Structure 1
Amino acid sequence: MSIVDVDRAAFELRHGREVEIDGQIIIHPEFLTEKIWQNLATQNLKLLVTPLRAKAIFNQEFTASVEIKLSDLSLQDVVLLVAGHSNANPKYLENATEQNTTALKLARIAELLPCAIILENSEDAYKISAADIMSYKEDENNSLFLAAETPLKLADAKKAYIKAFRPKSGNSEHLAIIIGDISENPLMRIHSSCYTGDLLGSLACDCGDQLRECIKLMDKQGGGIILYLLQEGRGIGLINKLRAYQLQKSGMDTVEANEFLGFDDEERGFESAANMLKILGITSVQIVTNNPKKAQDIENLGIKVTNRVPLLVSHEHNEQYLQVKSAKSGHIID
């Protein structure tokens, strides 16, 4: 099954092992040790990075993935290069091959930095096809099914019900939190998981505040649905989000930090949200969001949006964060 095969390939990559994609062999640099590096020393190694990561390294624009030659570099040089702090000046080549595109996509699926080291040979790499990697998200979203459901007592809602959805691969579980009673055209919010905001109450974003205020709004209006999607940090994963937070301490904003790491500003997809609504028999919604693009995205996926309901929670700590959302991501915060 292709979904399971890709999950296994991502597992191998996350555990420092080699993966072969249609003949191209990769390993992720995050897990390199001196011993592994010495064993690879006889090979002509290249570091594969996204155009945005290459821009951060070489301070120039790129339009395709970039292969950086690692000849004569030490492991420490490579570690610094991956982190964007190297003084080395290696040779590089833009190379937009299907294998490179899928290698970077697999790193994203594994929630690693979007980069990889290309090897010349391997004796025991896990083999996977580029086609399976490229269709992974679509296959995963299309295989969602209702796995569990139960009533749930919430502090801010008189009546709530939770439904858990899971793809056949067993990963990326998503929740539908149903507040009150659902109409034919209910209030609906797509809320991407935010460990720091939702659970810890971080003041750096508006996520946790929006989640709680949305529950209150839906309870007051009689009902609604919150689709809680497991896609942390705009889809880059928790560890990478924390790395982006650290970069923001040096003066970068949210978008700049994500792009410095090699990610696009927006790595999320909302296909799973649309599929969950369809499974629940909902074809029309009033979307609770400050982001008009999210409303358009969900309409493009076959769900009619009759109204956009704003939900702004601002304070002195997240003011700059909201301004960046407005200026660079199109959010309406007035």
Structure 2
Amino acid sequence: MTFYNKEKNSVERALSEIRRGMPIIVFDHNSYILFAAVEILEEDLFEKYKIITSNIYVVITANKLQHMTKDYDIGKEKFFRLQIDNFEDLSDILNWHKQQNYQIQNIKKHKALDEYAISLLKMTELLPLALVVDMEFKNDVAMQKWCSENDVIYLKKSNIINYKQNNDLYEVCKTPLLLSNCKEVSVIVYRTIYNSKEHYAIIIGKPDYNEPLVRVHSSCYTGDLLKSLSCDCYNQLHDAIAMMTNTDGGIILYLNQDGRGIGLINKLRAYSLQMNYKFDTVDANAMLGFDDDERDFVHAANILKKLDIVKICLLTNNPKKVIELERYGIKIIKRVELITQYNQYNDSYIQTKFKRLGHIEPK
């Protein structure tokens, strides 16, 4: 008898090992890679890699590589390998933006499994830089024996795919809540099955569940809580609450995906690049190795379905949300503009959203 989901457990154990700086093996059809997170790698582990092989690589995303070198044609590739010789090379790659005349050498094409190493790093909200070596085993049994002898976790590619694709969630609790400008509010907490992240439905007033006004709002610790002037998140959230309070009500879906999905720590790193090196939010994300927007709105769609809602009026300036929600089975009856509030500190950020992220400027 098994008292747990073995496949889910294997992925979550692997994620825990990655966060501790430990290596894991990812495998598929007699192909094997051993990888660890560059960001938290200890030198003694690097030396152990050198015992295995002299061919040691860092897997890097194409958008980061594009910023690191203008002379290399990345084409349509999403990942590359950089061959490295010593531990100091890792620091150079992590901190290349602080150096002048940094030269990229030994660029190689990536292997198929490298993508899954990067995917796992993004799940842990560590920087998407993987130290990788190719491993050779006679078969999976031999690989498992090696892992047992070396206390290394192994993970099949299909387990990673299945883990990422399981977007089920369930209701944890529901409670009334009193807000300063609205006394008729309830909050429903949902928890995802696979990564245990929590998302929230904030129901304002008495919305029409046939076609409610809905705001899909991604968490922003610096804006929503600290009222940062560098973004417009605080104003968007509270303007949405005010709009719903002053009309027939509405629903705010508050999703736990700070920094457009890269996590709070990486968002703060991106802020540092913007403040110290004058990059915009898109380039700062790319320099860290992330896409423009790493968010997924499937949980918003699933929460609406839990509430028996399939048609909504969406309060947003972001057409991607319209496309994503409709892709997941929610019909957008109308897109409602949300007025953007400028100040001297967030003007360039807001202009970047219009010019580079495809947001529609309110009229």
Question: SS state of the match for residue 116, structure 2?
Answer: helix
For the pair 1:79 / 2:91, whether they are aligned, the reply is yes
For the pair 1:149 / 2:149, whether they are aligned, the reply is no
Q: What is the TM-score when the length of structure 1 is the normalising length?
A: 0.94
Equivalent position of 2:316 in the other structure: 289
For the pair 1:234 / 2:234, whether they are aligned, the reply is no
> Which of these residues, 221, 228, 247, is aligned with residue 221 of structure 1?
247
- CA distance change for structure 1 residues 168 and 89 in 2, over 3 Å: closer, same or farther? closer
| Deviations 1:87-117, CA, capped at 9 Å, x for gaps | 354312122x331111111111111111200
Q: What is the TM-score when the length of structure 2 is the normalising length?
A: 0.86
Shift of residue 145 of structure 1? 0.6
RMSD over aligned CA atoms reads 1.6
Equivalent position of 2:212 in the other structure: 186
Question: SS state of the match for residue 158, structure 1?
Answer: strand
Equivalent position of 2:156 in the other structure: 129
Aligned residues: 329
Equivalent position of 2:11 in the other structure: 6
Question: SS state of the match for residue 361, structure 2?
Answer: coil
Amino acid at match of 1:201: K
Amino acid at match of 2:323: Q
For the pair 1:24 / 2:27, whether they are aligned, the reply is no
Shift of residue 169 of structure 1? 3.2
Question: SS state of the match for residue 21, structure 1?
Answer: strand
| Structure 1 contact 25–125 (Cα < 8 Å) conserved | no
Q: Could you list the runs of 5+ residues in structure 2 that have no partner in the other structure?
A: 136-146
> Which of these residues, 39, 60, 64, is aligned with residue 53 of structure 1?
64
Equivalent position of 2:359 in the other structure: 331
Question: How far apart, CA to CA, are the structure 1 residues paired with 2:134 and 2:228?
Answer: 45
Q: List 4+ stretches of structure 1 deviating above 6 A.
A: none
Equivalent position of 2:106 in the other structure: 91
Answer with 85-94 or 319-328: which moved more. 85-94
Question: How far apart, CA to CA, are the structure 2 residues paired with 1:170 and 1:267?
Answer: 16
For the pair 1:208 / 2:234, whether they are aligned, the reply is yes
Shift of residue 172 of structure 1? 1.4
Question: How far apart, CA to CA, are the structure 2 residues paired with 1:39 and 1:5?
Answer: 24
Which protein is bigger by CA-based radius of gyration? 2
Equivalent position of 2:142 in the other structure: none
| Structure 1 contact 236–267 (Cα < 8 Å) conserved | yes
Identity %: 37
| Structure 2 contact 39–129 (Cα < 8 Å) conserved | no
Shift of residue 189 of structure 1? 0.7
| Deviations 1:237-283, CA, capped at 9 Å, x for gaps | 11111111111111110111111111110111111110110011001
| Structure 1 contact 274–303 (Cα < 8 Å) conserved | yes
Amino acid at match of 1:247: L
Trace 1:249-260 onto structure 2 (pairs within 5 A): 249=275, 250-260=277-287
Answer with 173-182 or 293-302: which moved more. 293-302
- CA distance change for structure 1 residues 127 and 176 in 2, over 3 Å: closer, same or farther? same
Shift of residue 39 of structure 1? 3.3
Question: How far apart, CA to CA, are the structure 2 residues paired with 1:57 and 1:333?
Answer: 32
Question: How far apart, CA to CA, are the structure 1 residues paired with 2:192 and 2:151?
Answer: 29
Equivalent position of 1:167 in the other structure: 192
